[in-house]
Chains A and B, each alone.
Chain A
Amino acid sequence: MEGRGIELNIGPVHPATHGVLKLVADIEGDTVKNAKVEIGFLHRGKEKIAELRYFNSYFPIVDKLDYVGALNWEILWASTVEKAMNLEINDRVKYIRAVMAEIQRIMSHLVYIGSFGQDLGNLTFFIWALRERELLMDIVEEISGGRLAPMYNRVGGVFYDFTDGIADKINTALSKIEEKVKKEYRAMTYENSLFIMRSKGIGIMGQKVIKENGVTGPNMRASGIKRDLRKDEPYLVYDKVDFEIITENDSDVYARFMVRVREILESIKIIRQLLKDMPKGDAKISAPWIMKVPAGYTLVRHEMSKGEGAMFLVTDGGLKPYRLKIRSPSFYSLQALPLVLEGCKVADAFVITASMDPVMGEVDR
């Protein structure tokens, strides 16, 4: 380290780094000259573990990839194996999975905007966001029996069908959340002048940075790129529902926040439509617990709450995968982070990091 600055090690144990992320920042005065991101503190070899397990026994591991968006990853893994097996799944299962994916997306975004408020020094907002998330947690618990890591899906279907009267409960919870997001959150965050003062105009991530680093999801849509796999390559039943791709044009921290807030409202819209059109019948599982998957290469991409997640599965016709590669969206967001952090204030560095929504379980794998 040359010059008059200091080198600040932020993390991996730091209350504002969202898990075990480590930032090494060269600071001069109150300005970050350059920053490095160190990852790998939560590496658990999940891709290697896949080679040692039966296809259905891998779900508990998938749950711990993105621990605030577990169901999304479960559905992706299930779809990957089903595609490799050429397995057609029940219509009702597709609807159930889509509902669960959107519920999980709302939960993930609520954690994001809550922890974002906390990074601005507003603990109240964090607890409010968790309070709303709790409503959906209860629903996930009633359906699947689990909360953070539900282990609800399996190859060929889901473990349990929806319980009786769950649709009404979901609708009640959703209208509560919608009201809170539109009223309380507005006053507390996106129309609060102190919040706007802190988040507008900082952490600008241009389209060039996004394209070079492969940033996807809400972070990308906040910079005006209109791309959403649910619309562009519809999977499950997303082609049957009517929704919009949310974009913002400012590409700053505030835009990234707003994309999430508006996506919550959009997801609520999707769930309502899905619940209305949900076909009757039973959600039968169409595959045995332990099965052989024909040899081949399979790539499936889904829109996670944090961006595009993909799984590339190589099978050799055996009971277990031959090789699995996971593309986790947070990893690519973190690659763009040093570029965005350059030249920002120290206090902003934490806000910008939070605005990328990194989940280290998914980054380190």
Chain B
Amino acid sequence: MIFNEIYSMLAYYLPPKANLIASALATFVLILIVLIATPIILGWVDRKFSARIQSRYGPIYVGKFGLLQNFADVIKLMGKNFVTNQYVDRFSYNLIPILSSALSFLLIALLPFGAPSLTFISLPYNLLFIYILLAFSPLLIIIASWGENNKFAVLGGFRSAAQITTYELALIVTFISIGMVNGSYDIINVIASQSLIWNIIYLPLTAVVFFIGSIAVIERAPFDLPESSQELQAGWRIEYSGLKYGLFMIGDYVKLLAVSILFVSLFLGGWSGAFLPGIIWFWIKTVVALMFLMSLRWSLGRPRIDQLLSIGWKWLLPLSVINLIIVEVMMLI
């Protein structure tokens, strides 16, 4: 854990009580930096990358290569008025953006950042806890869409609930397979046990299922049906504006990073690799996974909701179950 690292580093200079406070503060500042910088920088990468795909320049005016553009946008978002429709249910309307982004931040705090000690929270069964966090989001979305009192929002909310519930089933089966192959539900142990052979070689089907399922669960395009801006305008986010909408956006980018880190840790061996230090390997793999996720958004259209559900039920769930059975048989032998 990062806290322990800082504590042991400062132990030479400070008495224990002062050290406790100082390292807690330092961890807090680090968390803040990660939480604020990640979505902003990821947002810049996304904008620039999509711009190059679409033969545009993207942000160029604010800062070198437009690097400061997203900081400017966040400041602008904070200065905006809160426009609230008079018919919304204020309690759920105001609560959901905070809860939803808090969930995303909790998700990323559970993940390792390139080395066993670089985690903010370490739990023995953190893979299962991550699953719980992912499974929690349709509930929030339904509450938000119902509280908004808008037809488009309700349509988007139900779509979202159907989609996430479908794909979570496939996702839990992939987690179970990983737990069985690696003998642990702790991400750090999972990474340690694939130092020789990556999980993607044992579980190719599961890797595909996890990849597709995780895009659907975080509602990233091309599976962003609940908030499809062309049909439902913004789906369940239709009434949100200003910083509340910004919180959703920040949560989205954090989730995107979380999913790529998760994919790298579960299937691509995390920080295992030759020649280079582990942390560099980890971030190379994460950036590649991230870029792949982003390029999907800008090159594919979205399927229809019934098509999406039938992909989930008819293909992904059976595939992951088949892979689970294969793994079980292999372990028996």
Chain A residues, Cβ within 8 Å of B53: 124
Chain A residues 116 to 144 lying within 8 A of chain B, measured CB to CB, are 117-125, 127-128, 131
Given contacts A194-B301, A347-B305, 9 further A-B contacts (CB under 8 A): A120-B230, A121-B230, A122-B299, A123-B298, A124-B298, A124-B299, A194-B302, A347-B228, A350-B230
Q: Report yes or no: A118 in contact with B230, Cβ–Cβ below 8 A.
A: yes
The 6 closest A-B pairs by CB, nearest first: A120-B301, A121-B302, A122-B301, A127-B54, A16-B230, A121-B301
A303 within 8 A of B: no
A6 within 8 A of B: yes
Could you tell me the distance between the alpha carbons of A93 and B225 in the complex, rounded to whole angstroms? 51
Q: Report yes or no: B55 in contact with A121, Cβ–Cβ below 8 A.
A: no
Chain A residues 10 to 27 lying within 8 A of chain B, measured CB to CB, are 14-16, 27
B303 within 8 A of A: yes
Could you tell me the distance between the alpha carbons of A198 and B300 in the complex, rounded to whole angstroms? 12
- Tally of contact residues, B, Cβ under 8 A: 27
Chain A residues 87 to 123 lying within 8 A of chain B, measured CB to CB, are 117-123
Q: Could you list 5 A-B pairs, sorted by A, with CB under 8 Å? A: A120-B302, A121-B221, A124-B299, A192-B301, A347-B305
Q: In terms of DSSP, what is the predominant structure of the interface of chain B? A: loop
A278 within 8 A of B: no
B86 within 8 A of A: no
Chain B residues, Cβ within 8 Å of A14: 233
Using CB atoms, name the residue of chain B closest to A345.
B304
Could you tell me the distance between the alpha carbons of A192 and B55 in the complex, rounded to whole angstroms? 20
Could you tell me the distance between the alpha carbons of A121 and B221 in the complex, rounded to whole angstroms? 8
Using CB atoms, name the residue of chain B closest to A347.
B304
Contact A15/B233 with A121-B221, A194-B222 known, Cβ cut-off 8 Å: yes
Q: Report yes or no: A198 in contact with B304, Cβ–Cβ below 8 A.
A: yes
Using CB atoms, name the residue of chain B closest to A29.
B158
For chain A, the bracket of interface size reads 20 to 34
Q: Report yes or no: B54 in contact with A124, Cβ–Cβ below 8 A.
A: yes
Chain A residues, Cβ within 8 Å of B230: 15-16, 118-121, 350
Chain A residues, Cβ within 8 Å of B304: 197-198, 345, 347-348
B56 within 8 A of A: yes
Could you tell me the distance between the alpha carbons of A350 and B231 in the complex, rounded to whole angstroms? 7
Q: Report yes or no: B151 in contact with A6, Cβ–Cβ below 8 A.
A: yes
Could you tell me the distance between the alpha carbons of A188 and B54 in the complex, rounded to whole angstroms? 12
Residue in contact with A194 in the complex, picked from B50, B228, B233, B303, CB distance below 8 Å = B303
Chain B residues, Cβ within 8 Å of A345: 304-306
Q: Report yes or no: A131 in contact with B55, Cβ–Cβ below 8 A.
A: yes
Using CB atoms, name the residue of chain A closest to B299.
A124
Chain B residues, Cβ within 8 Å of A125: 301
Could you tell me the distance between the alpha carbons of A49 and B151 in the complex, rounded to whole angstroms? 40
Chain A residues, Cβ within 8 Å of B228: 121, 347
Using CB atoms, name the residue of chain B closest to A117.
B301
Could you tell me the distance between the alpha carbons of A125 and B222 in the complex, rounded to whole angstroms? 14
Could you tell me the distance between the alpha carbons of A128 and B225 in the complex, rounded to whole angstroms? 23
- Nearest CB of chain A from residue B234's CB, rounded to whole Å: 10
Could you tell me the distance between the alpha carbons of A95 and B151 in the complex, rounded to whole angstroms? 53
- Nearest CB of chain A from residue B307's CB, rounded to whole Å: 6
Chain B residues, Cβ within 8 Å of A8: 151-152, 155
A346 within 8 A of B: yes
Chain B residues, Cβ within 8 Å of A348: 304
Chain B residues, Cβ within 8 Å of A192: 300-301
Residue in B230, B233, B304 with the greatest tally of chain A CB atoms within 10 Å: B230
Chain B residues, Cβ within 8 Å of A188: 299
Q: Report yes or no: B55 in contact with A198, Cβ–Cβ below 8 A.
A: no
